[in-house]
């Protein structure tokens, strides 16, 4: 029987991973469909009809036919619809949303870019890598300060803020960013990775789709 959710994505894609991670932590099985970016499948009309931005991920909720785009918006949708990881109060939900915006503004660009350049699927030289390293360090310092005396980014239990931010930091090593100087961040990652259902990118998406990525 098909799962409720169908995740369309690419093995190496951080935003695809984030959505899969949310589903795994929420205990929701999902079907995975590889989108052939190399062949430009994401820019063809049949895919664009489902994902207006021509990007991965795309999540289909088969319970209601919704086609959902933008990983942070998808996390919010899943938190709402599954009643998990959304924050306990309105204030927590607002703070959670703040961190999602912060992530895509301050943290994710430098980690993704540095990783992309190092893995060879983005262009950029030494200057770009230096800028990424400085921006990443500044963002991680902010996070480390915020996590002092806290177990989770918002409230008393994990939320989509933790999923979103850790879903980027999981690529820190590939981006040549060393997290060990950030004690609060390192401890929080340890707590996060101990959550039931947690999987690293290499364990989450079907390995056979890696060759195609
Ligand atoms: N803000 C988007 C970013 C998605 C994104 O950058 N996807 C990349 C793969 S990681 C993609 O589809 N690239 C192909 C393209 O933009 O043409 C999200 O969070 O979902």
Q: What is the pLDDT of residue 212?
A: 60
For a mutational test of ligand 1's pocket, the pick from 8, 9, 15, i.e. the residue with the most ligand atoms closer than 8 A to its C-beta, is 15
**Which domains, from first to last, does the chain contain?**
5-84+198-209 (3.40.30.10), 90-193 (1.20.1050.10)
Q: Rounded to 10 degrees, what is the CA torsion of 107, 109, 111, 112?
A: 140
- Residues whose CB is less than 8 angstroms from the CB of residue 204 and which lie 6 or more positions away in sequence, other chains included: 17, 20, 21, 24
Cβ atoms of 25 and 79 within 8 Å: the answer is no
* Ligand 1 atom closest to the CA of 56, numbered from 1: 12
- The tens place of each residue's pLDDT in the chain, 213 residues long, gives 899 999 999 999 999 999 999 999 999 999 999 999 999 999 999 999 999 999 999 999 999 999 999 999 999 999 999 999 999 999 999 999 999 999 999 999 999 999 999 999 899 999 999 999 999 999 999 999 999 999 999 999 999 999 999 999 999 999 999 999 999 999 999 999 999 999 999 999 887 677 665
Ligand 1 and 96: CB distance under 6 A: no
Ligand 1 and 51: CB distance under 6 A: no
Q: What is the pLDDT of residue 88?
A: 96
Q: What is the pLDDT of residue 64?
A: 98
């Amino acid at each position: 029987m098909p799962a409720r959710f169908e995740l369309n994505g690419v093995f190496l894609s951080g935003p695809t991973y984030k959505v899969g991670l949310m589903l795994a932590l929420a205990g929701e099985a999902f079907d995975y469909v590889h989108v052939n970016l190399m062949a430009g499948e994401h820019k063809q009309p049949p895919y664009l009809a489902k994902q207006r931005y021509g990007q991965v991920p795309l999540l289909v909720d088969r319970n209601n036919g919704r086609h959902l785009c933008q990983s942070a918006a998808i996390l919010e949708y899943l938190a709402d619809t599954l009643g998990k990881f959304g924050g306990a109060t309105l204030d927590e939900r607002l703070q959670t949303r703040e961190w999602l915006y912060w992530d895509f503004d301050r943290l994710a660009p430098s980690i993704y870019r540095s990783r992309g350049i190092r893995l060879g699927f983005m262009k950029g030289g030494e200057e770009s890598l230096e800028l990424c390293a400085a921006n990443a360090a500044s963002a991680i310092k902010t996070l480390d300060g915020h996590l002092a005396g806290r177990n989770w980014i918002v409230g008393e239990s994990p939320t989509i803020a933790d999923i979103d931010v850790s879903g980027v930091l999981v690529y820190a090593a590939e981006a040549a960013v060393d997290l060990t100087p950030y004690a609060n961040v390192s401890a929080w990652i340890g707590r996060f990775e101990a959550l039931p259902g947690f999987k690293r990118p290499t364990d989450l998406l079907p390995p056979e789709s890696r060759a195609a990525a």
